[in-house]
Structure 1
Amino acid sequence: MMDIRLKTFIVLVIIICVMTLILIYSKIDNEIATKKEVVTFKGMIVTFIVYALVDFRLVFDDFYTFFPKLVVTIIMALGFSSMSFSCYFWFFYVSASAKIKAMSKRWWYYVTGIPLMFDLLFLYTPLCKFVYIVKSPPVFKPMLSVIMLMDYVYLIMATAISLYKKHKAKARLEKKKYGSQIIFILFFTLSGVLIGYLLGYPAIELVQMPVILKLYMDIQDYAIYADPMTGLSNRRRINEYLNEELLGCNQLNPIIIIMIDIDWFKNINDELGHDVGDQTLIAFSEALLKLTESSDAIAARWGGDEFVIAAKEKGIDIGFRKKLTDLLYEKKNEMVVIPRFSVGSYKCTSSNITVEQLLKKVDGNLYLDKKIQHS
């Protein structure tokens, strides 16, 4: 029989874990991440809450024999499937964070749902007898290892995406975000090891809390510098970036600033609706991201329908209008209307200038181009 003090410890760990997860759940909203990121991250938190609640079984000395076999079977299935769902939601969170284009396709959900459907088939049907036998203590079959392997399919795919995005990222914040995502697979691996050594204890909860808190803190940090609608950097981030890079700016290491303004955007909102306007902004931002992803550059939403690109890569401004226009036409199926835009750029070769003065020069060139485009 388990000592009462140990039971109290287990209950406290589970309660603290559940309360922490509920608190984080309540703080995640569309102001700090995109809608898909919010939905998938919240989904993952819910699955962790379910798993923690299932672990209340640990305080019952005769759990597997005291309750009806059907109840025990369902509770065990909930425990295993909550881990499967958490891996599934994690994969989709990373995919949304990395803005994987295939997520807009229906087939993506069918194909990526296969490992989860496999798990659920063996956990919630009579096939569960190939996974475990309900007795005291329970007997686990080799099929459980296959189910865990299916979970790792999601973790490996998510880690591969994070590694690729971290490699491609130029900004420090992006590298940090994807770096934190990579450690998530270590959480599951460490949890599995601890369960083996701490059988009968809330091992996953002990590992889970610091990892989730770390991810939540990184989301908060990233949100400070990101535009929630488009995923681009925001005005605060571009200002900090320019202040940092201007210190080493010279003839050999110039900074190129490009300011882009969508022409007649108000007409798009007024005549086609704000949903179409938002869709246009998002597609336009994705084109800017693609244009800068392989460059030593940062793209930001300056405000409304204005965008700024700051780059240390020479020549990024050459043929910029044509390159951006071509990318927009590639995305024509995602937009009701392909917007026209004005562009102003400035090449800075001296550190003896403030960010405000630099942006004023770029804005002046943008104004000149806008007059030409509107004439």
Structure 2
Amino acid sequence: MVKALKIEIFLLCTIVLIGLAVRSRRSLFSSTQQLLFSMLGYTSAAYISFDMIWTLSDGVDGTLGIAVNWISNAVSFSLFAIVCLIWFIYSETVQGSRLLTSRYRVLLVTLPTVLVVVLAFASYWTHALFYIDARGVYRRGVAYMIQPIVSYCYVIYTSLHAFVHSLRVESLRKKAIYRTLAFFAIPALVGGTLQVIYSVPGLCVGIMISMLSLYIIYQEQLISTDPLTGLNNRNRFETYMLSTFSNVDQAEDVYLLMMDVDGFKQINDRYGHVEGDHALQVISAALKEVCSASGGFIARYG
């Protein structure tokens, strides 16, 4: 009964993660972020699937049972490290980190994961991370802690990095994203701890919750963002103004500046709407740069 419940939880998490990965291809802003987020979803689903196979095969004696148990553990160990690496790259990409600006740095960042993968598959001979005893039962190896240390270091580092960024930026939109990135690890860490202590499938549930929370934040950003310019849209502007005027102190000054682009119709008529859109994007980029420096809120009202 307990094993059946675990399998159901594994299947639910796998389906949800695959669904998020598929949907994210149409939802996120940057194509790089789309790719990394979908990779994160698919890889997490694969990790949970092999964890499920391990649950089914653990304790099954015989040559086939032991072989399946060993393979599922080796792949599961490797995939979890890869999931954490992809999350690290995704989070640092969103934050515009300098860690990923050269191939040499990317290689250095990847090396710990390569080490875990090598140790996982070499455990068949070395028993370093794990081994399967004669009864077909999984046992931890002497170097087992290398895998969680390497994996969680990725997540903890980028979470702290995102938290620091959330304190420094003035943009409310970026604050929301950075805070989500910062607290992404908490459900997985809590779930992983429960899994170690109580042998419940908490890690997969934690990963699913983290991915869902990030996806929801991005959906909210899409709803409140103008797709052409990347500025806040009219709906977000009105919400922001209501919030501002309801919370502002009477002695505090609030400034509202509305702008119009001179000669914009002539640009569209002479060069076409493609160039007109490009002009709006250039102007928006300049305004965003100015407003980000002063902590202002900017939106496209028209």
Taking structure 1 as the reference length, the TM-score comes to: 0.64
Query: What CA distance in whole angstroms lies between the structure 2 residues aligned with 1:44 and 1:238?
Result: 32
Partner of 1:47: 43
Query: What CA distance in whole angstroms lies between the structure 1 residues aligned with 2:283 and 2:88?
Result: 23
Q: Per-residue deviation at 1:131? A: 1.6
Q: Per-residue deviation at 1:133? A: 1.8
1:140 aligns with 2:140: yes
Distance 1:75-1:165 versus aligned 2 partners, 3 A rule: same
Q: Per-residue deviation at 1:48? A: 1.8
Partner of 2:118: 121
3-state DSSP class of the match of 2:211?
Answer: helix
Partner of 1:180: 180
Distance 1:244-1:112 versus aligned 2 partners, 3 A rule: same
Partner of 2:85: 88
Distance 1:6-1:148 versus aligned 2 partners, 3 A rule: closer
Q: Per-residue deviation at 1:76? A: 0.9
3-state DSSP class of the match of 2:25?
Answer: coil
Partner of 2:18: 22
Q: Per-residue deviation at 1:68? A: 6.1
Query: What CA distance in whole angstroms lies between the structure 2 residues aligned with 1:81 and 1:191?
Result: 19
Q: Tell me the amino acid that sits aligned with residue 295 of structure 1.
A: S
Query: What CA distance in whole angstroms lies between the structure 1 residues aligned with 2:227 and 2:112?
Result: 31
Distance 1:14-1:282 versus aligned 2 partners, 3 A rule: farther
Query: What CA distance in whole angstroms lies between the structure 2 residues aligned with 1:288 and 1:104?
Result: 26
Mapping 1:181-200, distance limit 5 Å: 181-199=181-199
Report how many aligned residue pairs link the two structures.
Answer: 291
3-state DSSP class of the match of 2:294?
Answer: coil
Taking structure 2 as the reference length, the TM-score comes to: 0.78
Contact 1:94 / 1:181 at 8 angstroms: preserved in 2? Answer: yes
Partner of 2:216: 217
3-state DSSP class of the match of 1:233?
Answer: coil
Partner of 2:128: 130
Contact 2:88 / 2:158 at 8 angstroms: preserved in 1? Answer: yes
Partner of 2:237: 238
Q: Per-residue deviation at 1:30? A: 4.2
Distance 1:157-1:224 versus aligned 2 partners, 3 A rule: same
Q: Per-residue deviation at 1:82? A: 1.7
RMSD (Å), alpha carbons: 3.7
Contact 2:187 / 2:209 at 8 angstroms: preserved in 1? Answer: no
Q: Per-residue deviation at 1:192? A: 2.8
Moved more, 231-240 or 71-80: 231-240
Quick check: which has more Rg, 1 or 2?
1
Q: Per-residue deviation at 1:64? A: 6.0
CA shift digits 1:210-253 (9 cap, x unpaired): 33322222221122123557654344323433454456598951
Structure in which a larger fraction of residues adopt strand: 1
Percent identity reads 17
Partner of 1:156: 156
Partner of 2:64: 67
**Gap runs ≥5 in structure 2:** none
CA shift digits 1:284-328 (9 cap, x unpaired): 73x65554335321244x3xxxxxxxxxxxxxxxxxxxxxxxxxx
Q: Per-residue deviation at 1:12? A: 1.8
Structure in which a larger fraction of residues adopt helix: 2
Distance 1:288-1:162 versus aligned 2 partners, 3 A rule: farther
3-state DSSP class of the match of 1:158?
Answer: helix
